Structure 1
Amino acid sequence: METLHPIQVQKEPEATLSVDPKKFILWLFIVSIVMLFASQTSAYLVRRAEGNWLEFNMPVVFWYSTAVLVISSLSMHWAYYSAKKDNFTNLKIAISVTFVLGLAFLYMQFQGWREMVDMKVYFVGNPSGSFLYVFTGLHAFHLISGLFVLLFALVSAFRFKVHAKNLRRIEICATYWHFLDILWVYLFFFLLTFN
């Protein structure tokens, strides 16, 4: 008598989700920055509620620097769009404009610190001033890292390594830059609201 063997059906392997390792690292970095600023803004609110809080007006130059950073986001988007269309001239111009606007933002932050000193708001002294210096200083530090990412993307654009079929560098650059812009807008309005 012949025994029948059950037919074995082989399942096709399930597709695995693949994530670009560099993009994954970028998102981990962004999450860590979000956690850093979330802890700082929470500490700000707790300390403010304890009293002994110096109230002062935000330096006017911070309004202008916010506008500059928002415009830099637009130029960064222009760079990404130009890369998708293989418009290398506009890509180089747009990244360069974004870089210059980033430098202008840093200069304006420095001017904001000078305005604060003129208002007698110092890093050491009342915690309200200390927090403002810490927030703006930490953001400036991360923006400097964003300028290095921009510089790397600009060099890659000049070497024609950024184009419609290779958008990873410009995507990473744009994601990080837009994040830094959103972070500053959040910090700025947080400080306006709770100062």
Structure 2
Amino acid sequence: MTIGLMFFSLLVAVIVWWLMRQTLDEPWHAEVVPEVRVGLVTQPTAKVALWVFLGVASSLFVLFASAYVMRLDLTDWSPIPRPRFLLVNTVFLVGASLAMQWTVYAARRADAGNVRRGLAASGLLTFAFLAGQLYVWKQYHDAGFLLTSSAATAFFYLFTAVHGLHVLGGLVAWARALLRVRRGADAARMRLACELCATYWHYLLAVWVLLYALLVSEDLGLAICSATPL
């Protein structure tokens, strides 16, 4: 189980490094927003702030995962049935991330119409993901698997709730970006807003994929849910 935790932590670090490198390789113009220097690259302050936040968020998820792995060592651990709808929710979030990346390509071409459509598609898929998560919670509640029923249910609610709160925070930024585009923001600011949203959505997807592995991957010895469907 310690190996599983190390694998989880390493994957988080690699994904954050890759996304950050993709961001640092992209040139930005001084007139967009105030900038700071990161190493040899000048970055908008909003982008630097986002990466600081992602670093903190990653640490939070790793700490929760550490507590989870330590709890697995106790003999009273009992996995809970696996909701089939979790896979559907994963598809929703994958679609939202892809739609956000498509929006970035549209923003780079200063195509405001496709930017609006891309943001709308990503937002709808993200709301579908959150609705799907609430539906899974309802399934568990109706089946008698409450927050205090067992350690497995407690960790399931904890992981999905914390991730869901991060998704809700992203939707605030998404709403601001959509409003900015509808008000006719200049191309540079529109592009920056879309880039920031896309980075955050890719991060949300990466974290969810890792959490999904913790929820269902019995091969790693870390699964909260058993192979028995709910």
Shorter chain as normaliser: what TM range? 0.7 to 0.9
Higher strand share: 2
Cα distance in 2 for residues equivalent to 1:168 and 1:104: 25
CA contact (8 A) 1:59 1:112 kept: yes
Mean Cα deviation higher: 151-160 or 105-114: 151-160
Q: Specify the alignment match of 1:151 in structure 2.
A: 175
1:83 to 95, 103, 107: 107
CA contact (8 A) 1:83 1:162 kept: no
1:125 to 135, 139, 149: 149
Q: Specify the alignment match of 1:94 in structure 2.
A: 118
For residue 143 of structure 1, report the CA deviation from its aligned partner.
Answer: 0.3
For residue 72 of structure 1, report the CA deviation from its aligned partner.
Answer: 0.7
Cα distance in 1 for residues equivalent to 2:101 and 2:162: 24
Q: Secondary structure at the residue paired with 1:57? A: strand
Cα RMSD (Å): 1.6
Cα distance in 1 for residues equivalent to 2:77 and 2:94: 30
Cα distance in 1 for residues equivalent to 2:132 and 2:65: 22
For residue 162 of structure 1, report the CA deviation from its aligned partner.
Answer: 5.3
Q: Specify the alignment match of 1:33 in structure 2.
A: 57
CA contact (8 A) 2:177 2:190 kept: no
Structure (1 or 2) with the larger CA radius of gyration: 1
TM-score (ref. length: structure 1): 0.87
Question: Please, which runs of 5 or more residues in structure 1 have no aligned partner?
Answer: 1-14
Q: Specify the alignment match of 1:61 in structure 2.
A: 85
Q: Specify the alignment match of 2:134 in structure 1.
A: 110
Q: Specify the alignment match of 2:44 in structure 1.
A: 20
Asked if residue 176 in structure 1 is aligned to residue 200 in structure 2, the reply is: yes
**Mapping for residues 43-58 of structure 1, pairs under 5 Å:** 43-58=67-82
User: How many correspondences in the alignment?
Assistant: 181
Question: Please, which runs of 5 or more residues in structure 2 have no aligned partner?
Answer: 1-38, 224-230
CA contact (8 A) 2:180 2:190 kept: no
CA contact (8 A) 2:100 2:194 kept: no
Residues 94 and 177 (structure 1), Cα distance of their counterparts in 2 relative to 1, 3 Å cut:
same
For residue 119 of structure 1, report the CA deviation from its aligned partner.
Answer: 3.1
For residue 122 of structure 1, report the CA deviation from its aligned partner.
Answer: 1.3
